[in-house]
Structure 1
């Protein structure tokens, strides 16, 4: 019986190793994507001033939609349910994306890229901590501990320091 529990622990450790490796592999990719958002904010601010905030937003989503269409076209058949089979609340992201981009085009020329992005980051982390804590939207629950509260507080401190600087 002891060998079974040892094997179970060994297989559990083996199963968590690829997950941990994937986590560290994805982290730089996510950081690069975050850098891309800062570049997007830097581009959208002046574009919104030149052509209007809604036109700037439409152009960004138009280019993105064209790119996604080409990727879907050349990636082969996709598996998944039809959009009408999904719960409607899962499509809210389609509303949030344009709101986010319009806010970027409005805020960036006035408060700068750094202030815009740290404010967005504070909102993202704050809401993310709540989503994790309560397991909203079908996510697994991750209790908020002291370290997470400290991280959120430090982001708010960074926001204040950047605002003052």
Structure 2
């Protein structure tokens, strides 16, 4: 089961690269903020339709949810705007590797400190080596673009 979840995450990552490739040209055509709004509008409409047919019955009052848990709603549009701005300048690969460095780095901190109710995970030499390889990918990709 774990390998299936890993494959799903890899495919989701491929989707992010595809989205970044779409956002650059869309941002040039309609503006960066409108590109972001259109992406979120289409996504919200799709999720709304899916929720109609797959309701779990967990309709919780939004006021009872801790406000800090809703900050992800702020981070998503910021991320998409940055993709829209960065992809035409850096290219899809460089943009995604930069995103990956930020994601892995912050993920290590979240795991190590057990933030957001996650279980604490030790940072060992294998994890640090993995992070160094991700950073090396960023540096090597950057140098390859410069030559």
| TM-score bucket (shorter structure) | over 0.9
1:10-159 alignment, distance < 5 Å? 22-79=1-58, 81-159=60-138
Relative to the length of structure 2, the TM-score reads 0.95
Unaligned runs of 5+ in 1: 1-21
Encode CA deviations 1:51-88: one digit per residue, 9 max, x unaligned.
10000000000000000000011113431532111111
Q: How many residues align?
A: 144
Unaligned runs of 5+ in 2: none
Runs of 4+ in 1 over 4 A off after TM superposition: none
Q: Give the RMSD, CA atoms, in angstroms.
A: 0.9
Encode CA deviations 1:96-146: one digit per residue, 9 max, x unaligned.
000000000000000000000000000000000110010001111101111
Structure with larger Rg: 1
Structure possessing the higher relative contact order (Cα contacts under 8 Å, 6 or more residues apart)? 2
